[in-house]
Structure formats: structure tokens, C-alpha cells
Amino acid sequence: MLAVWLLVRIANTMVTMKNGILLMGVIILLYLSSFACPSAASIQTLERTTLFPIMQNGKWGYIDNTGAIVIKPQFNMAFSFSEDLGLVVVGQKFGYVDRQGQLAIKPQYDEARTFSEGLAVVSKDYRWGYIDRTGKEVIPLQYVEAGEFSEGMAAVRIDSHSVTEESQWGYINQKGEVIIPPKFYSAGDFSEGLARVSVGKFGEPQQSGYIDKIGKFITNPQFFLAGEFSEGLAPVEVGGKYEKFGERLHRHIPGKWGYIDRSGKVVIPPQFDHGYSFSEGLARVSIGDKLGYIDTGSIHSL
């Protein structure tokens, strides 16, 4: 039987500042002593470098791990730092700041994401492309949609330039070269050498499976919903179905979530209302309105 830990303690900290009140809700996961812990050096490094977005008097800025304001609230929105650049919104445009709060890439994009593997995906006039950390456009803004780079590849939705064919997802490398041709209804990030993709058409039920980096299906499309691989396992929904709802729409009837290994074998039986990826030996799951954590120590096969 799977051991489920309800080890979530929510620490709500109220920090009073001169011009406002910052409410911080921090979820602390309590790990058992048998799990590996980060070294003191890595913890100190994290504490020195991590900045957290906060809102004060309607403006966003950043604090460090002590709660001290490092970048004064001045932005319309602020997101997490990644690769030493923070994604911010000034007016209605997205740009990036450095750790001193100086604009490193001026706000000019309609939408943008944080940096990943040296590149950030940005959008203007409903087209997506990629910039480097200097702000140089290294992959033209040409995609209908685009994802972040992971393991050297990014999922992009390429325009079919046809009124009868839908745009589909494929994968490019950091040079913008198409590595896996567009043929998927949806596509996720690569993780541990595999990516979740789905097949099907708009208005019809889609099923998800996993491909390798040459586009070969390792696990055939068979799941209604699926997550990324982490620590050798991926959460998948088994037994779900779609019910006709309107002329071209289908309503999702949930099944149960379990976990598969890289070969596609179900190793943790479907029993949860939802399951999330593993991290440091634990995965968050839900049953009804209850949340808990499972480990991999008691794996059962179907």
C-alpha cells in the first residue's frame, strides 16, 4: 500500500512595511530524514541569489530571502528571476530587468516568458520567437505559439498557411531548425529525454503519449491527460473519457491518475483524482478535497 504523507504546513507570514503590507503564504514541505538534503553551501548560494516578486501599493518589485526590498516596487507586474533576469511588465509591455533593477531588455513585447537555456520566448503581433540575454532576436517571431527551451529543444506551433488545415506543433533546436516536423495537436517540454504530445483534431477527443527526441513514440497515445517525466515517472490519467457536448465539443469525464515508467508500464496504479510530478522522491496527489504526498517505495503493478 502506498504511503501517503499529509505533510503540508502552511506558514502565513505577515510582513509590515512602511508604505504597505505584504502578505506571504509559504508552503513548507516537511521531508523525512531519510531523504537527501541540499548541502549547506547550496542553501547559502540559493539564499544569496533568490529574489521574490512582491506587490506593494499596486506596484511590483522584488525582495530577498530576508524580506528586504532589493528592487523597489515600480512595475505593473513582476515574475520570477531566471538566468539573472527578471520578467517585468511596464505599462502593457513585457521586458527584463537585471538584479539591480535596471532594464536589461526594454519593455516592447506583447507577451513573454522567463529565460530558459539562454533564450526567452517572446511575442509581438500574435507571432512568437526567441531572444537571447542581450535582447537580440535569434529565432524570428514567426510561430503561432511557442514553448520554452528544455533539453535543447522547444515546442512550436507552426502555421499551416492553409484555410483547411489546422496549425500543429513540432520541435525546433536553438538554431531555429525544425527537428521534429509539426504533426501534433499539442506538445509539452522535453524532460528526461521524453516529451508529452497529443494527437487528434480540434473539436474531437485527443489522446496523449510520449515521444523521444527524434519524434518516435515511446508510449503510444492512450492517455486523456498526462504530465512530464521526473525521476523516471510521469503522472497520467487512466480511464477518462470524453462525452459529446454540443455539435463539435466534448466534455471531459475524469478518470483516475497513476504513474508510468519510461517504457509506458503503469507502476503506480490509477487511484488519485489528480497526480503531479515527482520531486526529491515525493509527488503531490489529491483524493477528493484532500492533498497528500506519495513516495515510490511501495510500487505496485496493475
At 138-164, the pLDDT tens digits run 999 999 999 999 999 999 999 876 655
* Residue type (1 letter), 253: I
Count how many domains the chain has.
Answer: 1
Of 156, 175, 169, the closest CA to residue 113 belongs to 156
Q: Convert the pLDDT of each residue in 57-90 to its tens digit.
A: 999 999 999 999 999 999 999 999 999 999 999 9
* Within-domain flag for 162: no
93 exposure class (CB count in 10 Å sphere: 0-12, 13-18, 19+)? middle
* Within-domain flag for 284: no
* Within-domain flag for 121: yes
* Within-domain flag for 73: yes
* Within-domain flag for 105: yes
- The CA–CA distances, whole Å, from 181 to 55, 123, 190, 218 equal 42, 22, 15, 17
Residue 159: the pLDDT is: 83
Split at pLDDT 50, 70, 90, the class of 129 is: very high
Average pLDDT, whole number, for the chain? 83
Q: Convert the pLDDT of each residue in 89-106 to its tens digit.
A: 999 999 999 999 999 999
Q: Convert the pLDDT of each residue in 159-217 to its tens digit.
A: 876 655 678 999 999 999 999 999 999 999 999 999 999 998 776 778 999 999 999 99
Residue 92: the pLDDT is: 96
* Cβ-contact 32, 39 below 8 angstroms: no
* Within-domain flag for 84: yes
Query: b/e for 177-204, b at 16 or more Cβ within 10 A?
Result: eeebebebbbbbbbbeebbbbbbeeeee
* Within-domain flag for 98: yes
Please give the model's pTM, rounded to 2 decimal places. 0.78
Separate counts of helices (H) and strands (E) for the chain: 1, 30
* Within-domain flag for 214: no
Of 88, 92, 130, 86, the closest CA to residue 110 belongs to 92
Q: Which domain holds residue 107?
A: 47-143
* Cβ-contact 273, 257 below 8 angstroms: yes
